[in-house]
Structure 1
């Protein structure tokens, strides 16, 4: 059964798919060999992981940004919950559900769409209004606009982040226009 990161507890077995957020080969304290330190994420958060076996193979076969299948044991080390990873492999052949890996934004898609069309309807320039209406009549484009993040991280990196950002800019432009007039 898939378990979200926020639900993981020490002592628990893990067998799930997560986004590989970062990876780093680090030297073992013994000075001979390396281990792989990784950060894994889903929509609920991030957790550290350590790979001790087949380190180089896993380092070179999994890229940052990949969805990876992870098996291992959740442990607490120095007060930090992490996964002792026994198996990790890239899942490049699956269609990842973005709702599992990316947090959702503040607006629901329907209200964002309604607000966008309301702004377009209020435009005084008929040609611009018709152009935007034509562009947004493409259902595939509109769905992508409503669901896409604005960035990969930090700045509205959520499902719906792009429309939230766009509506914020449109709102600022409306206020600026009102102040100028």
Structure 2
């Protein structure tokens, strides 16, 4: 098998596609004229939908996420997004094809290992209550947690869906809650930062890492919120966290999805729980918006963003200038600002 030369980011309507991709999803459906496959092909640069129409769809019975496939077809467009109409597809067995995973697994712009160190340093520097500081250090240095955290995506496909995505999202949420605490100093800063650090911890067990991000049995049966509580409970006791603080901390975790219809076992009932819910939502939405545009040129509309149920617009932004009345953000504040592109 020759080296991979075609990447998802370079595929545009009107060109042929002929290369190896990883199957991110595969679904067989039935139309009036016969069965058809809807596939998601992915590599390190992104994802593209592909279709195998009837009667050719009947030639494939065992397509599944995680397989590496050689695809030949033509790139078209559907709902403003590129889509491959597959003419031929061959599943590559492991004994024939040993992939270079760096070509197929999208990774955060900053190395996950560096994000983990930044999160560790943030907790050490920003938490003053010794038991919470000890708790965070134990979570982030736990031998059963570290490797999972480095590899974990932030979600299956909605936001931060790449290696290091969980750490990138967690670090952003922690920085956001710190910025909010600066404005509202009565908030329980230490409990809130600890909760921000842990709020999605269970996703490292809910989702598989690697080329095929999918839900584990534990993820399907319990979900990441329940998994998180199970993971942190022994460490809360071991670190001597005051029971009332631990109770509030667990409520913040349980309520961070905000509403029952979004999978939240409890709705927020404290100021800190509301803060984490909104910080989590802001970072997830900004990541979705950043990834919706096919170019960074202002004045462009995105393809239809299904997870947000709308088209998005990339406006022209005011140039940044410095003067005595409007200085640039202080270095500490600048760390909390989110770029348009991750």
- TM-score, normalised to structure 1's length? 0.71
Which structure 2 residues correspond to residues 9-158 of structure 1 after superposition, within 5 A?
14-27=18-31, 31=33, 33-44=34-45, 45-52=47-54, 55-56=57-58, 58=60, 60-63=61-64, 65-74=65-74, 82-89=84-91, 99-122=102-125, 123-139=127-143, 141-158=145-162
In 1, Cα distance between the equivalents of 2:128 and 2:67? 46
Q: CA deviation at 1:19?
A: 1.8
Whether contact under 8 Å (1:62, 1:68) holds in the other structure is no
Whether contact under 8 Å (1:149, 1:159) holds in the other structure is yes
Q: CA deviation at 1:169?
A: 2.1
Superimposed CA distance per residue, residues 84-127 of structure 1 (whole angstroms, 9 cap, x where no aligned partner): 33233375888876543342223333431232122221211212
1:162 maps to 2:163: no
Give the root-mean-square deviation of aligned CA atoms: 3.5
Superimposed CA distance per residue, residues 115-171 of structure 1 (whole angstroms, 9 cap, x where no aligned partner): 212222121121221222223223562232133111001221122111111112212
Distance 1:35-1:19 versus aligned 2 partners, 3 A rule: closer
In 1, Cα distance between the equivalents of 2:51 and 2:146? 38
Distance 1:76-1:116 versus aligned 2 partners, 3 A rule: closer
Give the structure with the larger strand fraction.
Answer: 1
Higher relative contact order (CA 8 A, sep 6+): 1
Counterpart secondary structure, 1:17: strand
Unpaired segments of 5 or more residues in structure 2? 187-342
Unpaired segments of 5 or more residues in structure 1? none
